[in-house]
Amino acid sequence: MAQTVLHIDRPFDEDVVRSVVGSDVILLGPEDPLEWALGAIVGAATWNSTRFDAAPSLQVLARTGIGVDAVDLAEATRRRVMVTNTPDGPTVSTAEHTMALLFAVAKTLPHHQQMLRDAAGSYTANSRAVELDGLTLGLVAYGRIARRVAAMAAAVGMKVVAHDPFLTADATAGDPAEVELVAFDRLLDSADVISLHCPLTDESRRLFRAEIFARCKPGLIFVNAARGGLVDHDDLLAALDSGQVIAAGLDVTDPEPLPPDHPLLHRLDVIVTPHVASSTVVGRRRMLVMALEQAMAALDGSTPTHLVNRDVLG
């Protein structure tokens, strides 16, 4: 039987990898060719027909995360390549980062820090910080990460509503936070804070654009730790300039990373982090281990528990 060859597209801790795959698997690093790889552990890299051509022996592509928008699923299925993800891997880290962005921009931390740097004085009188207790948080999609964000937001006194067209009204039963599922229009009308948690699809691309920002409550706080392509950044800038949006916290952008001169990086009412919400030390290890487990299950002849393109089984 041919020896298992596994490609990992980022630097990795071999001890961690070996604890999952054993000592007999040949490991290829980011700079090694894909020609002999039977499995690939991948981050956010784009996998299209050209990339698949470079890996003619590939049987499984295991994402260290949730989103698979960078993978051509139809092409993978055509080539009989299983695509998996790790839906439980980034939950804790991404939810915490979402709340960190929310607190940072609501409390205007960049503004206060800049005032100190400028020795501006009148710090208390010039504070524009927002108190979150009693405000309404609107979650766009209500999956694992959004549920954890909801629990944390409720703990600080926020009311939480969510819109998810794939869920029924009883989907929040048993959740630690009281969350009301509402229509998208109602979420826009009622939310003081909006946080995005939906996947990037053809339908959701540029979901938040000028006409949607205009329908939101004035003075909106906006947070996105999902996908940059969900937002038209020119329209977000216009909404910030007009005061329709008073602050934004972004972990994802389009493109990624933003060029250093991009205006979003030079505003005191915006915080941008470089798509690192899930990248805590524990989070990275958790996602790597989960992706390795999915890949090894596929290579051992089993159906992975988090198979995305189930048509490949047909």
| Residues facing 222 on adjacent strands | 194, 248
CA atoms of 199 and 164, how far apart (whole Å):
11
- Coil, strand or helix: which one is 40? strand
Q: What is the pLDDT of residue 2?
A: 64
Q: What is the pLDDT of residue 114?
A: 96
- The domains spanning 5-89+280-313 and 91-272 adopt the same CATH topology: yes
Q: What is the pLDDT of residue 1?
A: 41
Q: Which residue has the tokens 């698949």?
A: 52
Number of Cβ atoms within 10 Å of the Cβ of 182 = 18
- 5-89+280-313: CATH architecture: 3-Layer(aba) Sandwich (3.40)
Number of Cβ atoms within 10 Å of the Cβ of 78 = 14
* Reported CATH class of domain 91-272: alpha beta
Q: Which residue has the tokens 């699923």?
A: 73
Q: What is the pLDDT of residue 176?
A: 84
**pLDDT value at 93 more than 90:** yes
CA atoms of 175 and 147, how far apart (whole Å):
8
Helix (H) or strand (E) holding 111: helix 109-117
The structural domains of the chain, with segments of one domain joined by +, span 5-89+280-313, 91-272
Query: What positions carry a catalytic annotation?
Result: 227, 256, 275
Q: Work out the pLDDT band at 3, boundaries 50, 70, 90.
A: confident
Surface-to-core class of residue 308, CB atoms within 10 Å of its CB (0-12 exposed, 13-18 middle, 19+ buried): buried
pLDDT tens per residue across span 156-204: 999 999 999 999 888 898 888 899 999 999 999 999 999 999 999 999 9
Q: What is the pLDDT of residue 173?
A: 86
Instruction: Taking residues 118-131, report their average pLDDT.
Output: 94
- Closest by alpha carbon to 19, among 289, 303, 313? 289
What is the spatial order of strands in the sheet that 193-196 belongs to? 179-181, 159-163, 136-140, 193-196, 220-224, 245-250, 270-272
Helix (H) or strand (E) holding 195: strand 193-196
Q: What is the pTM of this model?
A: 0.92
Instruction: Taking residues 59-83, report their average pLDDT.
Output: 96
